[in-house]
Chain A
Amino acid sequence: MAAVLIPLIIFTPWLSAIMLWFIGDQHEQAEHTIASGATVLSAIFSLLLLLEISDETLLISPIGPMFGDVSFTTNAMSVLLVCIANCIGSLTVIYSAAYMRHEKSLGRYYGMILLFIGAMSGLVLTSNIFLLFFFWEITALCSYQLISFYNDDPNAVRGGLKALFITQFGGIGLMTAALLIYGQIQSLSIPEFIEAARQGAIPTNVLSLIGFLLIAAAAAKSSQFPFFTWLPDAMEAPTPVSALIHAATMVNSGIYLLARFYPAFENVPGWKETILVIGILTIILSSLMAIFANDLKRVLAYSTVSQLGYMFTAIGAGSVLASQFHLLSHAIFKALLFLAAGALIHSISTRDMHQMGGLFKKVPIISVTFIIGALALAGIPILNGFWSKELILEAVHEGTTIWIYLIMLFSVILTAIYTIRCVWLVFFGTPRSDRKVHDAPRLMAFPLVLLAIGTLTSWLFFTQINHAFSTSLPLHKIELETLTKMADKVLSDPLTYIAIGMSLAGVGLWFFKKKKDLSFPLLDIVREASLNSFRFESANTGIIQILTATSEGIRNLQTGSLNWNIFGMIAGFLIVSILLLIGGR
């Protein structure tokens, strides 16, 4: 059954992407219908895959010793991500039918989204590291294409190129790791590699090198420190794309990569600590940037970066389950936040929060759903974000030192501050401009309401998720636990109330500062620094300048003169021959 479902999940979106290309842009309604139909179909297939969870590797076809076998897995982690990608994918495509109505080049838009959904499913389902790399690069390509969708806007083009360029660092890391793995075990199979690593068949120094290359890959893809500058600039994409790719799915593939390979590197010295430090630095820096940003989508982007930092921290603290549970919660509530923000931006046609305000009564559906998402983001009980965040805080408390736990508590305050600031500036207070707004049309409201229900209820499936994880991922050593036991543990723990108190303290702190209109010199310094992305943007510019100068310098070597080229070829041939002669002795 699974051997049939997996190709269906990957190829339904891909084939309909080709179909859209044949239909062309004259038939807009047909494009909406085909794209929605294909994604809903693949969402149903992915939900059917939930019945097939096991720890076995499925062989679809052997394609020779070079690339390994085309093999797939249906472990709980992969299936969970496939369901997220396809279900949220179908909701965003339905939403796009209203959001992208009467836009130009819809075929390109839908084609890229469908290509992305298929590639994302392949990325998480495969157990061949070569195929993983292949799908990984397709998702990067789709992300670049969709960020630069409005290709007459220079900001969009620049944002897309930046995303492509920075995520390529990750791609190089993953490719090098794959080559090293092949060199060590003469196989590209992920389960075989994990087995070999656990049995000590791979030298420790090579294993650490592979581990750190994978961290670099994951950090670049998931927009973590020091690569986190690309995600906010990716917000030039159409909002459904931001919701799907840059909040709910693609940015999670880094987390997935680390969680999947966790058993192999668990005992590599410094591996978990590095992830922990990256996570913590990302959380603090991106939360600070979210507090001072004025663009609604940028605030959401920074909050995505910081929530991904939470997942990194959870893996670093040794709790894969907490990170994956938070990944599920975050995918749902952040897609909800982005889609609600998109509906608002679509009707008010600005992203500047200082031009909004007092919208609560004017757009009831958008505001209620947005606030549900925001409460989940701030970790307010009983929404899904609360439970997963508490699990992470608990894991950090148990698995690391008290100092890291205190930093996490501080980040809870920051999260509450930027969330309440964003909600207040958009929906409450007095209107700061006389722009006309209207509530979400029915096609947009449907995904919003569904996602809001998901935000309220997804944590109820904890028992099933935990059971699936612990049975299908034996190497991750996940304890079997039920919802009632987990809830009891969380609610009876005094630390939970400290965290909730911190959230409320953050809200109170923001209101206090707003009412008294206080200003501290220290705060101004932090504001200045965070508006400049803590100088990371200058570092990026510096790297680009160095690269440009180098390539301008090398350019003089390319004379275009045939005689010189021939001479160069002969000289190169002679050098290689001499080296071979010396090496042969």
Chain B
Amino acid sequence: MNLINTMIILAICSIIGIGFYCLIITRNLLKLVIGLQILVKGVMIAVIFAGNVQGKIEMAQSMAYTIIVADTIVTVIGLAMSIQLRDKTGTSDIHSISKLKR
């Protein structure tokens, strides 16, 4: 494995790691959506990279398009919901919004 590939893998791992870290620590709904975005971008790079390594780049491209579409919908609905929730409850803190009994 050459140096560039290793660096790309490291980059992918760190982007996915940042995304996960963001999802774990943040309590703000808006920041959660941003964390999810970072995570999905990492996954998308991973898919394209895997396609390139395997020599099936057209397959990877079509999967990347699918991810973009799905990801956009998730983001749009997530952002809309977080704004609606902030208007209704006056806060973006997911712990105070949560109503599940402990």
Contacts and interface: CB of A to CB of B under 8 A. Distances in A.
Interface of A: 556, 558-563, 566-567, 570
9 contacts: A556-B102, A560-B98, A560-B100, A562-B94, A563-B23, A563-B26, A566-B24, A567-B24, A570-B20
Contacts of A562: 23, 32, 94
Contacts of B100: 558-560
Contacts, number: 25
B95 interface: yes
B27 interface: yes
> Taking chain A's interface residues, is the majority helix, strand, or loop, or is none over half, making it mixed?
helix
Which residue among B24, B25, B95, B100 has the maximum number of chain A CB atoms within 10 Å of its CB?
B24
A559 B32 contact: no
A559 B24 contact: no
Interface in B1-51: 20, 23-27, 32
Contact of B24 (A556, A558, A563): A563
Contact of A566 (B20, B99, B102): B20
B24 A561 contact: no
A556 B100 CA distance: 11
A563 B20 CA distance: 10
A255 to B, nearest CB: 47
Given A560-B102, A563-B27, 8 more contacts: A558-B100, A559-B100, A560-B99, A561-B94, A562-B23, A562-B32, A562-B94, A563-B26
Instruction: Name the interface size band of chain B.
Output: 10 to 19
Nearest to B102: A559
Interface string B84-102: 0000000000110011101
Contacts of A561: 94-95, 98
Contacts of A558: 100
A60 B27 CA distance: 57
Contacts of A570: 20, 24
Contacts of B27: 563
Contacts of B94: 561-562
A559 B99 CA distance: 10
Nearest to B100: A560
Nearest to A564: B24
A560 B99 CA distance: 8
Contacts of B20: 566, 570
B33 to A, nearest CB: 12
A563 B100 CA distance: 14
A408 B69 CA distance: 72
B63 to A, nearest CB: 20
Nearest to B32: A562
Contacts of A560: 98-100, 102
Nearest to B39: A566
A556 B25 CA distance: 21
Contacts of B102: 556, 559-560
A563 B94 CA distance: 9
Nearest to A562: B94
A560 B94 CA distance: 10
B32 to A, nearest CB: 7
A563 B98 contact: no
Contacts of A566: 20, 23-24
A561 B98 CA distance: 7
A563 B27 CA distance: 8
Nearest to A556: B102
Shortest Cβ-Cβ A-B pairs, 3 listed: A560-B100, A566-B23, A560-B98
A566 B102 CA distance: 18
Contacts of B23: 562-563, 566
B102 to A, nearest CB: 6
Nearest to B20: A570
Contacts of B32: 562
B56 to A, nearest CB: 23
Which residue among A558, A563, A570 has the maximum number of chain B CB atoms within 10 Å of its CB?
A563
A459 B10 CA distance: 81
A287 to B, nearest CB: 49
Contacts of A559: 100, 102
A481 to B, nearest CB: 68
Nearest to B99: A560
Nearest to A570: B20
A438 B24 CA distance: 74
A269 B91 CA distance: 68
A556 B98 CA distance: 15
Nearest to A567: B24
A562 B94 CA distance: 8
Nearest to B94: A562
Contacts of A563: 23-27
A13 to B, nearest CB: 43
A560 B27 CA distance: 13
Contacts of A556: 102
B8 to A, nearest CB: 20
A563 B98 CA distance: 12
B27 to A, nearest CB: 7
A567 B26 CA distance: 12
A132 B98 CA distance: 44
B74 to A, nearest CB: 15
Contacts of B98: 560-561
A570 B94 CA distance: 20
A239 B100 CA distance: 43
A573 to B, nearest CB: 10
A567 B23 CA distance: 9
A435 to B, nearest CB: 51
Interface in B39-85: none
Nearest to A566: B23
A45 to B, nearest CB: 49
Nearest to B95: A561
A187 B32 CA distance: 48
B78 to A, nearest CB: 12
Nearest to A559: B102
A483 B26 CA distance: 83
A562 B26 CA distance: 9
A563 B32 CA distance: 10
B46 to A, nearest CB: 14
A556 B101 CA distance: 9
A561 B24 CA distance: 10
A561 B32 CA distance: 13
